[in-house]
Amino acid sequence: MASKKREVIEEIGVVMGLVSVQFLYAGNAILLSIILKTGLQPSSLIICSTFATFLVLSPLAILFERHEKMAVKDHLQACYTVAFTFVWGVVFQSLFMKGVHLTSPAVATAMPNLAPGLIFFIACGFGLERMDIGCKYSRAKIGGTMLCVLGAVVMSLMQSDHSNTNTKTPTDFNSQTILGCTYLIAAVFVLSTQVVLQAITLRDFSAPISMCSITSLLGSMLTAVVEVVLDENYWDWDYLHLQDLLGYSIVAGGISGMCISVNAWAMKKRGPVVVSIFNPLGTVISAATSISLGDSISAKDLAGMLVMFSGLYLVLWAKRNESNAKSPNVDHHAADDTIVFDIEKPLLT
pLDDT in tens, 192-234: 887 777 777 766 666 777 777 777 777 778 777 777 776 655 5
257: pLDDT strictly greater than 80: no
pLDDT at 256: 76
93: pLDDT strictly greater than 80: no
pLDDT at 170: 46
Confidence of residue 80 (pLDDT cuts 50, 70, 90): low
Each as own residue / partner, the long-range contacts of residues 32-40 (CB below 8 Å, 24 or more positions apart, any chain) are: 32/97, 32/100, 32/105, 32/108, 32/248, 32/252, 33/100, 33/101, 33/104, 33/105, 33/108, 35/244, 35/248, 36/97, 36/100, 36/101, 38/240, 38/241, 38/244, 39/241, 40/241, 40/244, 40/245, 40/248
336 in a structural domain:
no
| Plot region of 137 (φ>0 → left; ψ -120 to 50 → alpha; else → beta) | alpha
CB atoms within 10 A of CB 41: 17
| Plot region of 48 (φ>0 → left; ψ -120 to 50 → alpha; else → beta) | alpha
pLDDT at 317: 77
CB atoms within 10 A of CB 246: 12
Residue 144 CA to residue 114 CA, distance in Å, equals 10
344 in a structural domain:
no
Which pTM was predicted? 0.59
Amino acid in position 234: Y
CA quadruple 158, 164, 166, 172: dihedral, nearest 10: -50
Mean pLDDT computed over 152-180: 57
203 in a structural domain:
yes
The closest of 276, 228, 230 to 123, measured between CA atoms, is 276
122: pLDDT strictly greater than 70: yes
Q: Which of 56-65, 117-126, 265-274, 332-341 has the highest mean pLDDT?
A: 56-65
132: pLDDT strictly greater than 50: yes
Asked if 113 and 308 count as a contact pair (C-beta separation under 8 A), the reply is yes
142-to-119, 124, 130, 150, 152 alpha-carbon distances in Å: 12, 12, 12, 12, 16
pLDDT at 16: 86
241: pLDDT strictly greater than 80: no
Query: 304: which residues sit within 8 A by CB, 6+ positions away?
Result: 110, 151, 152, 153, 154, 155, 158
Range of the domain at 185: 9-324
346 in a structural domain:
no
Better pLDDT: 248 or 62: 62
Mean pLDDT computed over 331-345: 44
332: pLDDT strictly greater than 50: no
pLDDT at 340: 47
345 in a structural domain:
no
CB atoms within 10 A of CB 237: 16
Which DSSP string corresponds to 262-330?
A: HHHHHHHHH-HHHHHHTHHHHHHHHHHHHHHTT----HHHHHHHHHHHHHHHHHHHHHHHHHHTS-TT-
What's the total number of domains in the chain?
Answer: 1
pLDDT at 282: 67
Mean pLDDT computed over 276-295: 67
Mean pLDDT computed over 267-291: 68
The closest of 96, 129, 128, 130 to 114, measured between CA atoms, is 96
96 in a structural domain:
yes
Confidence of residue 84 (pLDDT cuts 50, 70, 90): low
111: pLDDT strictly greater than 80: no
Confidence of residue 20 (pLDDT cuts 50, 70, 90): confident
Query: 6: which residues sit within 8 A by CB, 6+ positions away?
Result: none
Mean pLDDT computed over 236-263: 70
Confidence of residue 185 (pLDDT cuts 50, 70, 90): confident
343 in a structural domain:
no
Give 304-316 pLDDT, tens digit per residue.
778 877 877 787 6
pLDDT at 76: 58
1-to-6, 8, 138, 348 alpha-carbon distances in Å: 9, 11, 38, 16
pLDDT at 346: 44
216 in a structural domain:
yes
pLDDT at 223: 73
Averaged pLDDT score across all residues of the chain = 69
